């Protein structure tokens, strides 16, 4: 049984799966994997679609897992696209459509590789595919739900590969062995509205906000670690909603985003943000309300057997020795890392989330070959 990953990618692109819509993508994969002998279970939670599939006995000593998502970000303005975002049009050996890069190609590639592998050389062990429809959205009931369900059912992956786009320039040039943590803070400075001609009768929240943001942005969090770049804080919004030139606003709101390395954790950074806000509030005589959301903690899978396995397969298929990196945003690997060792490897991510998102068809074929070699080497 040989599965063409390009055809499967096109079929998945034609499924309109803007988060949280399932769009029949998991139905398609469920049918494909079931026919190949995988035991499949829908693990939907709170309306979020998820699919678990296992080939081989439960609880065996060697179980290799793949994780990925079929949901995609919104297409934006349709008029900006030169193709139907869900048409899976192919031009000059380039396949177009929302999710072509992030990450329906990788899901198709690892599903096709897994089906071929278990059909041709049934392994002494098990292969698990954990696929969610909620990675681009809140991510509360996607991979988290799959891992929770697996824990309750006694299902376990010994190692896992997440198929997110990881390569900056060329297929094979980078593997992710960790990710920075991510958190955001929403800060509202509350003063007293007044006439701009009589500032002494008002309490302007803007100077306090400017001081607070300057203090936060001016702080050097660290200078990086062995595997991570320096942590960063970005001021991403300051607004009052006030367009009147003769009114001092009563409230000013600001947002910061922090990407942090393994020197920090979300709790300690939250304490720091609140302490800074409290000092500024006292100095300016205003109230500052702070809401913080930690999207994920920093994590690292130290270079070792898993990264060597994936690097060896990538090098064998592409001729490149991939860089082991922790750059980029967050992914569902931040949840998988609490279950088992995890690394990420996938396509070049240049067009992900863009208008006319696309992927060269030969890269889909090569990605399947890499995933297939990883399985053969792991079980061999």
Condensed to tens digits (0 to 9), the pLDDT of residues 83-110 reads 999 999 999 999 999 999 999 999 999 9
Tell me, yes or no, if 44 is annotated catalytic: no
Angle at CA of residue 98, ends 93 and 99, nearest 5°: 85
Residues 125, 130, 131, 132: what is their CA dihedral angle, to the nearest 10 degrees? 180
Other C-beta atoms lying within 10 Å of the C-beta of residue 353: 15
Q: Span 218-243, mean pLDDT?
A: 97
CATH of the domain at 274: 3.30.70.360
The 3-state DSSP class for residue 352 equals: coil
At 235, phi and psi to the nearest 5?
Answer: -80, 115
Tell whether 291 and 302 lie within a shared domain.
no
Tell whether 25 and 91 lie within a shared domain.
yes
pLDDT of res. 59: 86
**Domain edge (last residue) among 296, 324, 358:** 296
This model's pTM is above 0.75: yes
Least confident of 134-138, 208-212, 230-234: 134-138
Which structural domain, as residue segments, surrounds residue 187?
181-296
Q: CA-to-CA distance for 160 and 128, rounded, in angstroms?
A: 9
Cis peptide leading into 20, omega within 30 of 0?
yes
pLDDT > 70 fraction of the chain, expressed in percent and rounded: 100
Measured between its terminal Cα atoms, the distance across the chain in Å is 20
Tell whether 126 and 271 lie within a shared domain.
no
Tell whether 187 and 131 lie within a shared domain.
no
- Paired sense of beta strands 159-162 and 342-344, if any: parallel
Tell whether 141 and 30 lie within a shared domain.
yes
Contacts of 279 (CB under 8 A, 6+ apart): none
Tell whether 100 and 149 lie within a shared domain.
yes
> Where does the chain show beta strands of DSSP type E?
39-42, 50-55, 63-69, 90-91, 94-96, 126-132, 159-162, 174-176, 178-179, 181-190, 194-195, 232-239, 247-248, 251-260, 287-296, 299-300, 323-325, 342-344, 358-360
Condensed to tens digits (0 to 9), the pLDDT of residues 123-144 reads 999 999 999 999 999 999 999 9
Q: Looking at 30, 102, 135, 155, which residue is catalytic?
A: 135
Tell whether 289 and 303 lie within a shared domain.
no
* Tally of domains within the chain: 2
Tell whether 78 and 158 lie within a shared domain.
yes
**Domain edge (last residue) among 296, 329, 346:** 296
Q: Span 240-249, mean pLDDT?
A: 97
Tell whether 185 and 315 lie within a shared domain.
no
Tell whether 118 and 267 lie within a shared domain.
no
Tell whether 44 and 165 lie within a shared domain.
yes
Q: Span 78-82, mean pLDDT?
A: 97
Q: Looking at 30, 71, 297, 317, which residue is catalytic?
A: 71
In angstroms, the Cα distances linking 308 to 216, 229, 271 are 39, 22, 38
Tell whether 338 and 304 lie within a shared domain.
yes
Condensed to tens digits (0 to 9), the pLDDT of residues 29-49 reads 999 999 999 999 999 999 999
CATH of the domain at 100: 3.40.630.10
pLDDT of res. 230: 97
Per-residue pLDDT at 242 exceeds 80: yes
Contacts of 138 (CB under 8 A, 6+ apart): none
Q: Span 269-274, mean pLDDT?
A: 98
At 233, phi and psi to the nearest 5?
Answer: -125, 125
**Domain edge (last residue) among 296, 328, 353:** 296
Per-residue pLDDT at 1 exceeds 80: no
pLDDT of res. 221: 98
Q: What is the mean pLDDT of the chain?
A: 97
Q: CA-to-CA distance for 373 and 313, rounded, in angstroms?
A: 6
Tell me, yes or no, if 135 is annotated catalytic: yes
pLDDT of res. 61: 84
């Amino acid at each position: 049984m040989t599965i063409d990953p390009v055809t499967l990618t096109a079929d998945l692109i034609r499924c309109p799966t803007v988060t949280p819509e399932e769009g029949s993508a998991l139905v398609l994969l469920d049918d494909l994997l079931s026919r190949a002998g995988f035991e499949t279970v829908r693990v939907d939670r709170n309306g979020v679609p998820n699919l678990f599939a296992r080939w081989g006995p439960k609880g065996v000593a060697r179980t290799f897992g793949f994780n990925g998502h079929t949901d995609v970000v919104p297409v934006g303005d349709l008029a900006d696209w030169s193709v139907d975002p869900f048409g899976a049009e192919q031009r000059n050996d380039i396949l177009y459509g929302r999710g072509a890069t992030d990450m329906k190609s990788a899901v198709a590639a690892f599903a096709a590789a897994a089906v071929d592998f278990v059909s041709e050389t049934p392994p002494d062990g098990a292969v698990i595919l954990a696929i969610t429809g909620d990675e681009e959205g809140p991510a509360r009931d996607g991979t988290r739900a799959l891992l929770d369900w697996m824990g309750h059912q006694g299902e376990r992956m010994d190692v896992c590969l997440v198929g997110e786009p990881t390569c900056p320039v060329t297929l094979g040039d980078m593997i992710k062995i960790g990710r920075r943590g991510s958190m955001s803070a929403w800060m509202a400075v509350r003063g007293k509205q007044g006439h701009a001609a009589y500032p002494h009768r008002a309490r302007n929240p803007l100077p306090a906000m400017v001081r607070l943001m300057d203090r936060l942005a001016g702080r050097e969090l660290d200078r990086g670690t062995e595997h991570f770049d320096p942590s960063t804080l970005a001021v991403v919004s300051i607004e009052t909603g006030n367009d009147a030139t003769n009114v001092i606003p009563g409230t000013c709101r600001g947002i910061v985003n922090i990407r942090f390395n393994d020197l920090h954790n979300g709790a300690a950074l939250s304490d720091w943000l609140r302490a800074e806000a409290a000092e500024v509030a006292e100095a300016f005589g205003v109230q500052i309300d702070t809401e913080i959301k930690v999207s994920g903690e920093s994590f690292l899978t130290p270079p070792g057997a898993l990264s060597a396995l994936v690097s060896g397969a990538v090098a064998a298929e592409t001729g490149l020795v991939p860089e082991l990196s922790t750059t980029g945003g967050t992914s569902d690997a931040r949840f998988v890392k609490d279950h088992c060792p995890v690394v990420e490897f996938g396509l070049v991510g240049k067009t992900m989330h863009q208008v006319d998102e696309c992927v060269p068809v030969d890269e889909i074929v090569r990605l399947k070959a890499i995933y297939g070699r990883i399985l053969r080497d792991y079980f061999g």
